[in-house]
Amino acid sequence: MYILKNSLISIFRNKGRNILIGLIILTIACSTTVTLAIRNTANNIVKSYEEANDLIATISFNREQVMGQFKGGQDAQKENIEAFNNIESLTLENVKSYGESDYLKGYYYTYSTSLNSDTLSKATDSFEYEVEDTQTSTSTNTTTSTTPGNSGRPNMPAGMGEKHTMTEKHTTTIITKTKEKFQSLRNLTGDFQLDGYSSYDAMTDFVEGIYQVIDGEIISNFNAFECVISSELATLNEITVGSTITLKNPTTEKTYDFTVTGIYTDNNDNNETSSMYSKSANTIITGSGVIDLLVSDDNTLVTSITPSFILNDKDNIDAFTAEVKEKGLSEYYTINTNLEELENATKSIENVKTFATTFLLITLIISSLVLFVINMINIRERKYEIGVFRTIGMSKFKLTIQFILELLLVALIALIVGAIIGSYLAKPVGNMLLENEIQTTQGEQEKISNNFGKGKMPNSMNMQFNKREQVETIDSIEAIVDFTVVMQLLGIGMLLTLISSLASMISIQRFSPLTILKERS
């Protein structure tokens, strides 16, 4: 208590010096608060983005590995295609096996096949011509005739005529029409490609706005014979929402009726000029359960599957890759991720955080040096006071505590005031960082809703996109200067105070009271 009383008396007795120290600490507190607020905001944005955008791993062909097994020359073309056909395709069982991993949050996939139709016209601007093989054969017929009457020739009986031989040629043309085609067995050969999605998360084309439902809505049951068709196919065949289209199995000729729940447009601007229709014109969207039903009906259907695996963390990429290869993934396939895409998306925010951290470190270093120098000057000015306290019996420890306590009290008041001022300064800075992020996020959510053909998604779809909506929680500036930031500020302030108090600690331990008093006299 005695030390605290002396500290308060000393603070009020040396108002000018303590006000100067307080202003320096106040400036440090303001800049530190703003810097911590920016850094905190940047961390929240990056964290929210990572939660809203999954780290996805996909499986694709390792083209280099495949091409390395191919042979050159036209004569080897058939052999190369047969070798390609012999590469084991991914199956639904493979995908489910790979999806059972501790390194994943979950997985989804697109299951595709193709069907024909007797009632739908395929959107195409080209025609298939039959190849005609023309063979010509020629036959010869010889006939002999006699002209009646005596020709007047010697030794010829009277009444006998002259003989004539005639040769006739008959040409026969045989036209044979044939269709020959040799291709990869992986090609979906039906007129219409049927893409079956396992969940709304799998519908990345709709999420990213490449596809957008312009009439009706997306399918609601992934196991029902519902579908969404392109606007081009709908226009060509005069199909509306609610219509029923009939597709048939190209192998068994069995037909299936689908109810059209929506019509989508392809917004992909790929500058395609070789066709009047988009590449997705004959693509029909349905659920993966429907593809399962079709395959169970006829297992000779050609299918393809495109899986996407949601990783827990970027540190699990190598481990998941090794695990999948152990489960039997062929060397002709490779694992790809969107890690680089995610890092590029948050690069600007990370730069802001790096700048804030660098600025904070520079501020702390300079502040420590300034406070240390001021304390050195302060100690030199109070040498006589130190000598008197030591002469009347105050220990070095208590005297050191008093000087530290004086600085702590001044620093505490300056830090509190600086935190309040800094919080007001941090708000506009934080708003500048958050404003674009909030608007972009809300705009993306509205676009996604519109892409699925709904102004507001139903609860089932909202649950699917719950992770994406977490970004919207950063909608209040109050989260910038919170309890954590204040505690960090106080911790930094106290640390600076203790570092700058090293001057008084060292000086008090070195000073001799008798020497100080002699110098004074």
What integer pLDDT is reported at residue 274 of this predicted model? Answer: 58
Q: What confidence category does residue 463 fall into, taking pLDDT thresholds of 50, 70 and 90? A: very low
Full-model pTM:
0.61
Say which range, 34-48, 104-118, 123-137, has the weakest mean pLDDT: 123-137
- Can you tell me the mean pLDDT for 342-358? 77
- Give residue 165's pLDDT band: very low, low, confident or very high (50, 70, 90): low
What residues contact residue 171 under an 8 Å CB cut-off, 6+ apart?
136, 137, 138
pLDDT confidence band for 122 (50 / 70 / 90): confident
359 pLDDT band, cuts 50/70/90, is confident
Cα 427 to Cα 43, 66, 346, 358, 435: the distances in Å are: 16, 56, 22, 20, 11
Which conformational region is residue 74 in: left (phi greater than 0), alpha (psi within -120 to 50 degrees), or beta?
alpha
Which residues share a beta bridge with 56? 310
d(CA 465, CA 369) in angstroms, rounded, equals: 51
pLDDT of residue 235: 92
Report the chain's mean pLDDT, rounded to a whole number.
76
Identify the residue with better confidence: 244 or 502: 244
| CA–CA dist 426, 29 (Å, integer) | 12
Q: What are the helix (H) ranges across 86-202?
A: 92-99
For residues 271-294, one letter each, b for 16 or more C-beta atoms within 10 angstroms of the residue's C-beta and e for the rest, the string is eeeeeebbebbbbbbbbbbbbbeb
Top-confidence residue, 435 or 122: 122
Q: Do 460 and 217 meet the contact criterion of CB atoms below 8 Å apart?
A: no
Q: Rounded mean pLDDT of 388-399?
A: 78
Tens digit of each residue's pLDDT (9 = 90 or more) over 51-107: 778 899 999 888 777 777 767 666 667 777 777 777 788 888 999 999 999 999 999
Q: Which residue would you say has higher pLDDT here, 178 or 250? A: 250
Question: How far from chain centre, in Å, is Cα 347?
Answer: 14
- Amino acid code (one letter) for 126: S
Give the DSSP letter of residue 116. B
**What's the token pair of residue 32?**
């530190």
Q: With a cut of 50, say whether residue 465 has pLDDT above it.
A: no
Segment of 43-57, 241-255, 268-282, 409-423 carrying the highest mean pLDDT: 241-255
Q: Is the pLDDT of residue 344 over 70?
A: yes
pLDDT at 284: 95
Spell out the alpha helix ranges (H) of 298-382. 317-326, 339-345, 347-381
pLDDT at 504: 67
